[in-house]
Amino acid sequence: MAVGIFDSGLGGLTVYEAVARAMPEVPFVYLGDNAHAPYGVRDADDIFQLTCAGVERLWDEGCDLVVLACNTASAVALKRMQETWVPADKRVLGVFVPLIEALTERQWGDNSPPREVEVKHVALFATPATVASRAFQRELAFRAIGVDVEAQPCGGVVDAIEEGDEILAEALVKGHVEALKRRMPHPQAAMLGCTHYPLMQRVFQEALGPGVKVYSQAELVAPSLKDYLARRPEFLGPGTASRFLTTGDPARVSSKATQFLRRQIRFEAA
């Protein structure tokens, strides 16, 4: 009854940790496409092809349901995948909607018309491809009116995290927050729209200041997925083993993952 978790690299581990904690009985198979990370600077076709290849690999592991723990893939490729590619007996879910539902104080699947919400000024931090897709603004407009979104493409942060260079990642995050604050001096909330960024959440929060509520996906996706599986248990696939797979170098990826999660993680070649 395994479930697949896909990311371009290490960032999806933040989501993996939260869902594995929330559902200890479910085996999760994680696939990081580290050989092709970062996705955030690739074009839409490239992201679509790579994401489909990763999802197929997880189907081979017996995961009929795959969570794209990657905003770039969710924002750029998921709609096209769902409309043209995913067969009826499989599911691919993204990580965007739970974040927006939390911001707009909605329950899962509440499709009522958009309404005014408390938060009016929102900062979005994401990869260049996610920002360019405007998927966040599109999904938000279905649910809320009158929310001003200022998006900051955070070039370089994913590369620095994948390289394990925390000092560079920290400096880049501070620079991106400053750049955003020049355009929106007083955001009320900040969305970390990339699953790599929770690894830098403390730095975002300090740079934004204590008055800004920082939303990160890991904790929001877990209850959404649990709820989904309770309603659609048929999508718990036939796989039985938890595994960590990578298209990159397993030894190198294991060591970076261990550094970030601060516990031993062993990746195998995908």
Q: What is the distance between the alpha carbons of residues 208 and 178, in angstroms, rounded to a whole number?
A: 8
Nearest-approach distance from CB 4 to ligand DGL, in angstroms: 15
**What's the gap between Cα 211 and its chain centre?**
24
C-beta of 156 vs 187, nearer to ligand DGL = 156
C-beta of 71 vs 104, nearer to ligand DGL = 71
> 122: buried, middle or exposed (CB in 10 Å: 19+, 13-18, 0-12)?
buried
Nearest-approach distance from CB 209 to ligand DGL, in angstroms: 24
Cα distances from 106 to residues 114, 145, 221, 224, 262, in angstroms, run 10, 14, 14, 12, 33
Catalytic-role residue among 52, 63, 70, 154: 70
C-beta of 48 vs 62, nearer to ligand DGL = 48
C-beta of 14 vs 62, nearer to ligand DGL = 14
Nearest-approach distance from CB 158 to ligand DGL, in angstroms: 4
Q: Which residue in 24, 37, 21 sits closest to 195, CA to CA?
A: 37
Nearest-approach distance from CB 76 to ligand DGL, in angstroms: 9
Nearest-approach distance from CB 200 to ligand DGL, in angstroms: 12
| Known catalytic residue at 63 | no
Whose structure tokens read 């769902």? Answer: 82
Cα distances from 94 to residues 48, 70, 72, 109, 240, in angstroms, run 13, 8, 10, 14, 23
| Known catalytic residue at 70 | yes
Q: What is the distance between the alpha carbons of residues 203 and 191, in angstroms, rounded to a whole number?
A: 14
C-beta of 32 vs 237, nearer to ligand DGL = 32
Q: What are the residues binding ligand DGL (CB under 6 A)?
A: 7-9, 11, 37-40, 70-72, 127, 130, 158, 194-196
Rg (CA), the chain: 17
Catalytic center residues: 70, 194
